[in-house]
Copies of this chain bind each other. A is one copy, B any other.
Amino acid sequence: MDISTLVGWILAIILIVNGITVQKLGNFVDMPSILIVVGGTIAGLIACYPFRILKDVPKHIAICFRGKKYNIPQTVDQIVDLAMIARQSGLLVLEEKAGEIKEPFFKSAVLMIVDANDPDKVRAVLERQVESMMTRHEEARGMYLKGSALAPAFGMIGTLVGLINMLKAMDLSGSGGGSTLGQDMGVALITTFYGSTLSNVLFHPIAQKLGVRDNEEILYCTTVIEGVLAIQAGENPKTIREHLLASLQQRQQDKLMKKSGDKGGDK
């Protein structure tokens, strides 16, 4: 599990509360302000997106807190194993092996070469799948970016509402006209505070984390595509390992190549 988002959120809240000082926290709670900023942002998102995208919010939150789901080095090991089996016993034997693979993209990719499809076709179908997955993810990420833009906007709308009401009620010519000016203006600014905090502490990190996860998923999928096509082309398992690892960091590569060297020696 990747708790960095949670750690960041808790830390940010502690620091902001510390800046406010606990005994003055009451200054920062104002129900109509919360309604106009939080509610307005949600209303704006509902107006922007169809329910089909909105209903996936819990899934997106889960993705943020999930640890690294895709274990590339282990996937490379699996691909190398499949390549060795395919070389010894032919591609058809991979059908039963595919049953053991849990990750659906990998599984469908292996089944596609078992069905003896044309390599160009396999690549085209798998890449189209990755592309349309990415479009969906981009849409989801876009929702949080939109949220991070709407929150300060509704914060400003709330502040304008507060200021206009305050100014309209102000009577500078009379005696005590300005007596509550300070407090009214304080209340008006609270919505700007809410909007700014929501945008930077809540929405931006979620959008960013989803983007990082996307990159990991693309790396995983392209590794699977390259690997499966190499199996179909009957390439040398050792060469497959080397080429697939090329996309990892140098540090990780060195570690993994050594391990593979040991393994390679046994076979």
A193 to chain B, nearest CB (A): 4
> How many copies of this chain does one complex carry?
5
Residue of B nearest to A186 (CB): B167
Question: Are B182 and A47 touching (Cβ within 8 A)?
Answer: no
Question: Are A189 and B212 touching (Cβ within 8 A)?
Answer: no
Partner of A165, one of B24, B136, B164, B192: B24
Given contacts A4-B51, A8-B43, contact A186 B163 (CB under 8 A): yes
Partner of A186, one of B48, B49, B168, B199: B168
Does residue A57 face the partner (Cβ distance < 8 Å to B)?
no
Interface residues of A (CB under 8 A from B): 2, 4-5, 7-9, 11-12, 15-16, 18-21, 24, 27-28, 32-33, 35-36, 39-40, 42-54, 68, 104, 108, 115, 117, 121, 125-126, 128-129, 131-133, 135-136, 139, 146, 150, 153-154, 156-158, 160-173, 176-179, 181-183, 185-186, 189-193, 196-197, 199-201, 204-205, 208-209, 212, 215, 219, 222, 226, 239, 243, 246-250
A129 to chain B, nearest CB (A): 4
In this complex, which of A9, A163, A205 has the most chain B Cβ atoms within 10 angstroms of its Cβ?
Answer: A205
Given contacts A19-B33, A170-B183, contact A205 B44 (CB under 8 A): yes
A163 to chain B, nearest CB (A): 6
Question: Are B139 and A215 touching (Cβ within 8 A)?
Answer: yes
